[in-house]
């Protein structure tokens, strides 16, 4: 008897292959047998198998892989014809299994992949995938099965995922999109773009962060669509009942990240993509930039004026005009005859010099960087093996392929001379990549992609990230144990492992002040906490009021830099005269006073994955009206910042989250959970501190490290409940913290009607050089009669005119009791 199931070498049953061959050869026009290109959808799953923490489901042709990463993270991958691409991701450097209890249950209507916390359901009738928590609440569900469409022109597939969008569902994240904080009703594109003077709702911009947070019925989850191709996201714009994301190539690969709190989602996203390394503390100071400060005499005049006017500043930037003909890694000796001497003298005055570096390398055989790159074939090539060339600032340029590890190492080593000259930081610009006239590289440019190979369609969104990676890794090697400072304009998810960012070429307008506030909040909850704006606007002309309000906002941005275009008036803190100069000085000084607080918030980000800037909705996600609050945020978790965002405004409405809050300026105690009007004349801005907080404060310095810190002021805000605060200290510029040479302090504040207890505990191997705290107790509801520190009575204390209780004590105290 003939066996119709005998397999041929291609794995097709022999009889079936024979029939297909006959059918094909008997058609007069062979092309008539080719099916039209249409979207194809997953159909009924017919098989399921498990390989360790990976589960495979197939409909007979397509295959879906479900990977359990942690108790709260599950990855979904689709292979349209059952063959997955090699595992590789620039965003997720190493996918580690961190789960012990997981498995697969087969039920009558579905398969269920489970952990202790979440379930992934695969419906048998139609391959719909959904997720639920351990209370069986469905958090995410497909609206149609995952689908794809063959890309005839380039190969591969367009890939699509569409999920149910609930009527009250809100969406947050996606990096620095120039729109409202809540993305409900928006359609957005990820394709890194040089967006000079971008407008409200203009999209796309400089970065591609394919990560969003959904909030529905008070429960949060995240979706991270790890696909570097041009991608679109629709948050109920086309159809209010559907949320979709799709890409023009690559795999349909996404991570479901469970909450239930928004903070949980962000922390777990950081578990995948990493956090910012600790910056050098000087990088958290105030920075001054312009396109461009040149010649050397101009740089010296600006830095001299900062010191004369006693306005703190740590960073001075050199834009493209410091170079010889805009050639990277060179100096214009007419403008800067002795850069080493200049940088050394600036350093002696407390200024760190940051220089710009772009990716375009001028085509010039007498230029050593070009010559080396050409000889080693380090520059990008097109599909027919011609070098990719385009015009940027130096003229005709070629561009390194930063997806090649050999090129990254070469590029990183090029910084050696700049570092030897004393350069302290590097600013990577134009790395979307931007090309004059054409916008960016052609699609057919080839990239090595760390051995994974790909066209520019695949590499475009990671180009800037890999450039700043090369910069950071090179600087780290050259600077040895000193922390590099880098800043980049373009990036992809995971860029935070290598760099800070700013929101790009904004405009001097009140609308852009509003946008900058929203964009920094969005970047922070999208994994990129070390962010800021061009204070005052890059293009256009702010007046003194707008610039001062922007300085006030920038005081509470993790990255604080003023920057402006060369065709605008000068934009320093004193440029608008009084009263603006004094107000700007006051707020920049406040920045420096609060540096230990910001530095501690940075540690909480680096070590634990907390965002530094947090929208109000992150604190109270169960309150529906908070889903649309976007002009207030907390700086860390203790300080509520309410910037003034309109011209002529003398007061503003403020919402205080539930709890008790102190007005930072007046120490007035206010109950939260409501809105109130707060005075906001030009010289101030509404700021509130959460009751129970311990806020460390440094003396005002003109730059970080100007003088030895002799004592740290500890501002303690009384509360009638228990509250915790964390403070981090280390050397501030080395990587010793990676060997546990740091100090992590925990303060527990407990208040009663006539008693206040403050306990301090410490972990780590670092010893600060100062010996004492200056304790400043705010809001004490009783007059103290007795103060005990570690069983010893303190007689020397005072009650100041503002009713704060002040005393000094040793930094290593364990318990302070005030009766």
Question: Which residues does the annotation mark as catalytic?
Answer: 429, 432, 505
Cβ burial of 212 (10 Å; 0-12, 13-18, 19+) is buried
Q: Three-class SS of residue 553?
A: helix
Three-class DSSP labels, 319-383: CHHHCECCECCCCCCCCCCCHHHHHHHHHHCCCEEEEEECCCEECCCCCHHHHHHHHCCCECECC
Cα–Cα distance for residue pair 601/634, rounded to 1 Å? 11
Cα–Cα distance for residue pair 716/290, rounded to 1 Å? 39
236: tokens are: 């109920």
Q: In sequence order, what are the residues at sequence separation of 6 or more whose Cβ sits closer than 8 angstroms to the Cβ of residue 372?
A: 378, 410
- In terms of Cα–Cα distance, which of 199, 240, 197, 231 is closest to 537? 197
β-sheet bridge partners, residue 805: 777, 799
First to last CA, the chain: 99
536: tokens are: 């005052």
Determine contact, residues 114/103, Cβ cutoff 8 Å: yes
Neighbours of 778 (CB within 10 A): 20
Q: Give the DSSP per-residue string, 462-506.
A: HHHHHHHHHHHHHHHHHTTTBPPEEEES-EETTGGGT-EEE--S-
Cβ burial of 797 (10 Å; 0-12, 13-18, 19+) is middle
Own/partner contacts of 708-713, CB < 8 Å, gap of 24 or more, are 708/769, 708/770, 709/768, 709/769, 709/770, 710/770, 710/771, 710/772, 711/770, 711/771, 711/772, 711/773, 711/774, 711/808, 712/596, 712/768, 712/770, 712/772, 712/773, 712/774, 712/811, 713/773, 713/774, 713/776
């Amino acid at each position: 008897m003939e066996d119709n199931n005998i397999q041929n070498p291609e794995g097709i049953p022999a009889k079936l292959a024979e029939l297909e061959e006959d059918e094909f050869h008997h058609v007069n026009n062979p092309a008539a047998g080719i099916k039209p290109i249409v979207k194809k959808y997953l159909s009924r799953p017919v098989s399921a198998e498990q390989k360790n923490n990976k589960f495979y489901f197939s409909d007979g042709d397509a295959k879906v892989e479900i990977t359990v990463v942690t108790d709260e993270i599950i990855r979904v991958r689709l292979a349209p014809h059952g063959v997955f691409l090699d595992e590789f991701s620039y965003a997720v450097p190493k996918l580690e299994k961190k789960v012990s209890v997981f498995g697969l249950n087969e039920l009558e209507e579905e398969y269920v992949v489970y952990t202790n916390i979440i379930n992934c359901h695969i419906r048998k009738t139609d391959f719909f995938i959904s997720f639920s928590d351990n209370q069986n609440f469905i958090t995410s569900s497909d609206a149609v099965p995952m689908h794809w469409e063959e890309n005839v022109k380039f190969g591969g597939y367009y890939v699509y995922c569409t999920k149910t969008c609930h009527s009250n569902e809100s969406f947050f994240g996606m990096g620095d999109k120039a729109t409202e904080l809540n993305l409900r009703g928006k359609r957005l594109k990820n394709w890194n773009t040089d967006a000079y003077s971008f407008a409200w709702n203009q999209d796309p911009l400089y970065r591609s962060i394919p990560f969003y947070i959904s909030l529905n019925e008070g429960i949060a989850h995240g979706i991270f669509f790890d696909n570097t191709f041009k991608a679109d996201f629709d948050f109920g714009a086309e159809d209010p009942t559907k949320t979709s994301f799709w890409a023009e190539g690559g795999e349909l690969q996404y991570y479901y990240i469970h909450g239930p709190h928004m903070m949980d989602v962000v922390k777990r996203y950081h578990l995948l993509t990493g956090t910012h390394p600790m910056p050098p503390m000087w990088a958290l100071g105030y920075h001054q930039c312009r396109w461009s400060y040149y010649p050397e005499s101009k740089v010296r005049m600006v830095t001299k004026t900062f010191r004369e006017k006693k306005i703190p500043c740590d960073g001075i930037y050199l834009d493209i005009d410091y170079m010889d003909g805009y050639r990277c890694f060179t100096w214009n000796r007419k403008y800067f005859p002795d850069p080493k001497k200049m940088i050394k003298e600036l350093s002696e005055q407390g200024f760190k010099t940051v220089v710009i570096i772009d990716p375009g390398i001028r085509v010039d055989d007498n230029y050593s960087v070009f010559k080396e790159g050409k000889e080693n074939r380090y520059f990008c090539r097109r599909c027919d093996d011609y070098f990719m060339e385009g015009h940027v600032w130096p003229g005709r340029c070629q561009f390194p392929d930063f997806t090649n590890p050999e090129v990254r190492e070469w590029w990183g080593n090029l910084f050696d001379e700049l570092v030897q000259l004393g350069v302290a930081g590097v600013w990577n610009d134009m790395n979307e990549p931007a090309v004059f006239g054409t916008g960016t590289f052609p699609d057919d440019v080839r990239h090595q992609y760390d051995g994974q190979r790909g066209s520019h369609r695949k590499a475009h969104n990671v180009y800037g990230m890999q450039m700043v990676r090369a910069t950071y890794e090179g600087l780290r090697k050259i600077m040895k144990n000193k922390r590099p400072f880098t800043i980049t304009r373009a990036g992809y998810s995971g860029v935070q492992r290598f760099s800070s960012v700013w929101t790009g070429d904004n405009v001097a307008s009140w609308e852009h002040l509003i946008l900058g506030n929203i964009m920094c909040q969005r970047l922070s909850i999208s994994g990129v906490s070390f962010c800021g704006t061009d204070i005052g606007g890059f293009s256009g002309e702010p007046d003194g009021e707008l610039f001062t309000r922007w300085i006030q906002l920038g005081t509470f941005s993790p990255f604080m830099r003023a920057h402006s275009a060369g065709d605008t008036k000068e934009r320093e803190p004193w440029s608008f005269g009084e009263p603006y100069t004094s107000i700007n000085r006051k707020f920049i000084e406040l920045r420096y006073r609060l540096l230990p607080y910001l530095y501690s918030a940075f540690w909480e980000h680096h070590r634990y994955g907390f965002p530094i800037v947090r929208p109000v909705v992150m604190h109270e996600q169960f309150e529906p009206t908070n889903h649309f609050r976007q002009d207030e945020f907390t700086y860390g978790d203790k300080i509520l910042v309410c910037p003034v965002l309109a011209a002529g405004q003398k007061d503003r409405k403020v919402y205080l989250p539930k709890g008790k809050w102190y007005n930072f300026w007046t120490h007035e105690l206010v109950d939260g959970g409501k809105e109130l009007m707060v005075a906001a004349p030009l010289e101030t801005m509404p700021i509130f501190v959460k009751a129970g907080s311990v806020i460390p404060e440094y003396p005002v310095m003109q730059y970080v490290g100007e003088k030895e810190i002799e004592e740290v002021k500890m501002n303690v805000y009384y509360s009638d409940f228990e509250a915790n605060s964390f403070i981090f200290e280390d050397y501030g510029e080395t990587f010793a913290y990676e060997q546990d040479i740091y100090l992590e302090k925990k303060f527990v504040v407990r208040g009663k009607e006539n008693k206040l207890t403050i306990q301090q505990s410490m972990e780590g191997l670092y010893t600060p050089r100062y010996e004492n705290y200056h304790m400043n107790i705010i809001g004490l509801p009783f007059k103290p009669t007795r103060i005990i520190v570690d069983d010893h009575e303190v007689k020397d204390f005072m009650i100041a005119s503002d009713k704060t209780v002040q005393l000094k004590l040793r930094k290593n105290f364990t318990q302070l009791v005030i009766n």
